[in-house]
Structures are given as C-alpha cells and as structure tokens.
Structure 1
C-alpha cells in the first residue's frame, strides 16, 4: 500500500465515520432549488464533535487483485489535524495524520513518514474533509462538486474533485444511505480501482471472500 493510498483511505473513512447518526431530511427531486437546500442542510448536519471512534470494514476491488482485498479495524478522529486509521485484520497497520506530518506503521515493516506538502492533491482532500466534518458547505464546495439525489429511503451524495491534480488520482466519491443512516462510502480512482467502506449496521455482517461489487452495492442500498 502506498502512502498516498493510505491517506486517501484514512480521509474517506473519517468522513463517513463522523456522518453516523446524521438526521433525516426530506428531499424534493423535482425542485432543483429545494434539492440544493437539502444538500446544504445535510452537509451542515454532518459536523460531529471530536473525539470520536468507529469500526469499519473496507472492500477494495482492482484489476491488479485476483480477489477483493478485505480489511477491518477502527478509526479515531480528534479534530481536523488529527486522524488515525488502525487496521487489525488481516494485518496490523496504523496510519496517522498530525498536522502536516503523516506516519504509516505496519507490523513487520519499517515505519514510513512524509509531509503533506509533497502531495498537494491530498492536502486539498484533507481541507475538503475538514470542511465536511465541520459542516462548512462553502469550503467543501471549493474542493468538490457536490450533488445530492434520492429521498429519505435511498439517497446518494456524490463528490467530484474540482482540483486538476486531485482528478488525476480520484474520479469520484459516493456516500449512500437510507433515512438518517449513512451506510456506505465508495471511492473510485482514475486507475479503475474501487474501495467500498461499510460502517454501522451495514458492516456488522461478515463480508464473503468472493463478494462482488454489485452485491456490495445492493447491501449498501439495503435491498
């Protein structure tokens, strides 16, 4: 796993983790103005006080993998400049952001460290997620194009990077949920890889080793 991949996953997990328990809103798909207001209302309500921790399961699909890569662990959020992602199964790894410093420690390997200044697109992502976690819609829109669709029973929040460098590595992020429960967080990179993060009730049931992306999408939608 590269340092960039670790940080992208860390930031994405942090976003969804802090979204748990977001209130229900009433979407109006036939009214563009109402939909914009619904989007702003939802994002504004995503802010959660630190510290917070949550368990997660991640399933990664890639043409370079013969089978999906499934890992699980927990995430800790102590504020915009302090994020921790701990993988406990099937290996042990700790990735941490402290301000501009990033450190990756994996069992049996030498620790790796680097500065966010060497990855400006990742710094942009961190800024965007910090804005999301604080409910700052205006700042979030500086980093992502934000689109909301659906209704209380099945909604989808789609984030597309606006920065050119970020778009070279990240195609889109999708957060899907039902009523007030965000269920899944999917990230698709420009190399065709897709990572699906399961949290809350969605992550409690074990994931089969041969699970397909379609099966996960059905699970995320609650169907």
Structure 2
C-alpha cells in the first residue's frame, strides 16, 4: 500500500511537470504555470490609438512584476517616467517632480487593465474570473485569452482585452475601448525567469 501511494504521488508530480501539450489547455493549467514565476522583467512597447487625436502615441521601456501584486512600468522613451503599482496604490514618478499617488479604485479603467495583467501574471484564476468572462483558445505554443468585463463591474471604457502568448509568457495585450480607441502592449522575452522575491 505504501509503495502504491508512493507511485501515485510520483505520477501526480510527473503530471504536474508535464508541458501543457500533454494535457488539455485550460485556464487553471495555464495560470498555474504563471504562478511558478515569482518575478518577471519584460521589455515592452506600447502603442495607443486615440480617436480624438487621429493618430497613435508610442512609448517603450521595461515592465517588472513581482508576485503577488507589485507592478512597475519603467518608461524610457519618449521621456523617462515610472509608474509603480502595489495593492491599490499607483505612484507616478518623474525626475525633478514630486511623486504623485492615486488610488486604483478611483481609476476604473486603469484598475481593470492592471487587475487583468496582475491576475494573469500571478496565476490567480479566481481574481480574473471575478471581473471578466474568460475565453481561452489555442494550444500551449500559441494561445489567446479573451477577457470581457462582467456586467456590473467598473471597467471604464474597456470593452475587451485580448492576451496572446506562448507557454507561460504573455507576448501581446490588446485593449479595445469604446469608439475607435485601443492600446497594444507588446512584451519581449523575460530577462529574469523564476526568482525568489525579497
């Protein structure tokens, strides 16, 4: 009996470590892979299309995530700027200026976007489903997660978020808003994989 239990335990552990291709792709399995990563550093490029401007705005830099809810966006171009988010507080830091702090709860659109990104990177399926209808399509090497705000949730002008990725990596996030407004966030490979956070 002891040997059988040991065999079953070994089998269970082996199944947990199998790549996603060995089992059906589902949200819980995908997010469990994200949850294994304590910290990520990603290069990013953000493109925003705003209907009233009739054009696009771009910025780029580095995105840092530390589980469970710390997110830091270090904009390097066109001008240095840091957006640091932890729990419900967002801080905007500009060189030579006083730090500005805002509550995410007072900015529903920003809160919806940050909430979706943090829940995905932290591997928190419950937090994701609390605010969004989630539809996952594709396979381990090319998946698309479509998030539609649930009725009654405060999401500002956001109509839908679409994340594209491979394995436990988000490659691209597109946020569609009301009107002809959208934001595209393209993410490069992480410079730091699994780490233990301080």
For normalisation by structure 2, the TM-score amounts to 0.70
Q: Is the 8 A contact 2:81 2:93 kept in 1?
A: yes
Residues 1:62 and 2:57 are matched in the alignment: no
Larger Rg: 2
Partner SS for 2:127: helix
Residues 1:95 and 2:83 are matched in the alignment: yes
Question: What are structure 1's unaligned runs of at least 5 residues?
Answer: 1-22, 29-33, 202-223
Which structure shows the higher helix fraction?
1
Distance in 1 of aligned mates of 2:87 and 2:141? 38
Equivalence for 2:20: 25
Partner SS for 1:188: strand
- How far residue 152 of structure 1 moved from its aligned partner, in angstroms, is 4.6
Equivalence for 1:145: 133
Cα deviations by residue, 1:161-212 (Å, 9 ceiling, x for unpaired): 21524344211110123567542111112243111111226xxxxxxxxxxx
Equivalence for 1:112: 100
Cα deviations by residue, 1:34-66 (Å, 9 ceiling, x for unpaired): 5xx623211222224333322111111121234
Partner SS for 1:44: helix
Question: What are structure 2's unaligned runs of at least 5 residues?
Answer: 1-17, 190-198
RMSD: 3.1
Partner SS for 1:166: coil
Partner SS for 2:62: strand
Distance in 2 of aligned mates of 1:79 and 1:156? 22
Cα 1:27–1:176 shift into 2, 3 Å: farther
Distance in 1 of aligned mates of 2:109 and 2:46? 22
For normalisation by structure 1, the TM-score amounts to 0.63
Which structure shows the higher strand fraction?
2
Distance in 1 of aligned mates of 2:110 and 2:50? 21
